[in-house]
């Protein structure tokens, strides 16, 4: 599938995925949602050799400034739930992707953009980044997981305040609250994200994918996270990666993982 709104580049094994709608501040229209869905369900899983994905927005003003409001106005009565479900479906794909997906937030991350960043495993904020869920200003609520993931990341009280007031916060406050993992100078967001992915790439690939599953299980009400951890711990001890990692530790040498 050829993408109109996504730009894909691979640099030393790290895939840089850029939402490329700069004139619209990279707003998430339905075409972009469809392309993200195809990318994370079909294209990305086929790229076995990539170390991870950095997700960012084109230009200097916005990561993703929100959903496309003009499209909201075309939603007919009774269609809103389907509209939200499509976004949530692809964001779950990102959250559960077996390799690290890091948001490089280079400007506004509002509404659907904040929700997209929160679906990633980590967030690197440029100094000028701004986060928020301003949907109440439009008379609606977040629909792509914002009422759930924001609580998970920063706690109920502050999440409630931001969602009900529609206020934005800057990079430093986002970092203080736990919404952003790091704050870096403007223009260094992708480089920092790549640095983290390169570090993770030196670890056992099977262990990384299983750890992602276990951390996500904490928030799944249908899963006993502790029991799930026990189960997946057992799967990792049966791998060649574990034998290589443990042997390398004893022999005081770098491990050479093969993802097996």
In the β-sheet with 130-132, what is the strand arrangement from edge to edge?
62-64, 108-110, 130-132, 168-170
Residues with a known catalytic role: 115, 135
Q: Residue 5 to residues 27, 34, 102, 141: CA-CA distances in angstroms?
A: 10, 10, 19, 25
DSSP string, 98-152: SS-EEEEE-SEEETHHHHHHHHSSEEEEETT-EEE--GGGGT----SSHHHHHHH
Which ranges constitute the DSSP H helices of the chain?
A: 30-38, 44-46, 69-72, 80-95, 112-119, 146-154, 156-165, 171-177, 189-200, 205-217, 225-237, 240-250
Cα–Cα dist 190/122, whole Å: 12
């Amino acid at each position: 599938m050829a993408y109109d709104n996504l730009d894909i580049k691979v640099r030393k094994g790290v895939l840089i995925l850029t939402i490329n709608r700069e004139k619209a501040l990279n707003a998430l229209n339905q075409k972009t949602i469809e392309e993200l869905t195809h990318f994370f369900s079909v294209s990305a899983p086929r790229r076995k050799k990539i170390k991870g994905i950095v997700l960012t927005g084109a230009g200097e003003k916005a990561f993703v400034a929100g959903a496309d409001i003009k499209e909201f106005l075309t939603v007919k009565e009774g269609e809103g739930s389907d509209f939200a479900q499509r976004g949530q479906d692809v964001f779950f794909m990102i959250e559960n992707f077996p390799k690290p997906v890091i948001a490089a937030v280079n400007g506004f991350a509002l509404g659907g953009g904040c929700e997209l960043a929160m679906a990633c495993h980590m967030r690197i904020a440029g100094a000028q980044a701004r986060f928020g869920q301003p949907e109440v200003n439009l008379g609606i609520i977040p629909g792509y997981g914002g009422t759930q993931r924001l609580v998970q990341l920063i706690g109920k009280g502050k999440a409630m305040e931001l969602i009900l007031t529609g206020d934005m916060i800057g990079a430093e406050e986002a970092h203080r609250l736990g919404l952003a993992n790091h704050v870096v100078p403007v223009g260094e967001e992708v480089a920092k994200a790549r640095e983290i992915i390169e570090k993770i790439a030196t670890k056992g690939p099977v262990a990384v994918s299983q750890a992602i599953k276990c951390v996500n299980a904490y928030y799944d009400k249908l899963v006993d996270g502790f029991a799930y951890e026990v189960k997946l711990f057992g799967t990792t001890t049966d791998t060649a990666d574990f034998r290589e990692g443990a042997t390398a530790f004893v022999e005081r040498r770098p491990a050479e993982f093969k993802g097996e």
